[in-house]
Structure 1
Amino acid sequence: MVWSTSTFPELALPTIDPSMQAIATYIKDGLNDRIGELKTGIVAVRHAICYNSLPADLSSFPLLKVYRNTDNFTWGQNTTQMTIGYCLSFPDEERIPGILRWVAVNIDSLMREYGINHRGCCPSFDPESQIKAEYRVMSLNGEPVYTFLLVNFEITEDIGCNE
């Protein structure tokens, strides 16, 4: 017997992670709206992806990466430790000093807003839970390539909520 997605539709590979996509879109739009209110012509996020990988080049920067680190499955529910990564080229950081801190504060604010405005939705975020931000530099062969921010927190999903 040949295993196929027509015989077993559950074998079809997903093209996106709906929960990560929902959060990525919310954060990208929120950051771009907020920075646009401060100064025209500046984009906080150019591209958003829902997986963790190294970008091939800096043309996609400023880049938002929204991805899962761990899933903890219980009966009918899943708790995910997730990360929002914000990657920025050195020229952009020099052009807008303090942007990483601004992004961290605004991701915190947007996630708490998301938790309140999307209460009972999937994925859910407890607006009173901890959000941790880390500031780092990506190096390749000992040379700094770009700077980035990691924002870590937890979301909850009911099993099957995005199917």
Structure 2
Amino acid sequence: MSSGTSSSTPSFSGFRLQATDGTVVPISLTAMRQSTLLASVVDNCDGSDAFNEPIQCPNVTQGDILRLVVTWCERHQNDGPMSDAEQRLAVKELPTWDRQFLDPLDNRQLFSLICAANYLHIARLLHYSCKMAAQQSEGLTPNGMRKLYFGMDENGTPTG
């Protein structure tokens, strides 16, 4: 048996994440490593029975958003971590797959995905989803952004 630090990591490759609405979504270990938060949960576990239950994601409230996060992580599971230099660079164009993934999302989904990526510390997903939101916001007034992203009129009143 190896004496490396990974010996405490469970030997199976499948994990389950749970949104606060109760939705449970399976995820592979390599995909889960896109999230520095989830990677640290696995790395700091004693390896016993810790993963018999789903890993709670308390700031991801909707199962559909958790499924989107997992789909994105599975697609990018072999990508290395986003470097600090890469994070500082302005992305001119989103990669084709990521644009096609993010484009059909409505504003609620996109905003919720941004919040989930931020909470789970998934730098590249956060970067790309914020880029998509910025592109959708180009040319909007502050009132237009309030209405688009928060469903509020110019007085801050919900529009329905």
Task: Give TM-score scaled by structure 2 length.
Answer: 0.27
**Whose strand fraction is larger, Structure 1's or Structure 2's?**
1
**Whose helix fraction is larger, Structure 1's or Structure 2's?**
2
Task: Give TM-score scaled by structure 1 length.
Answer: 0.27
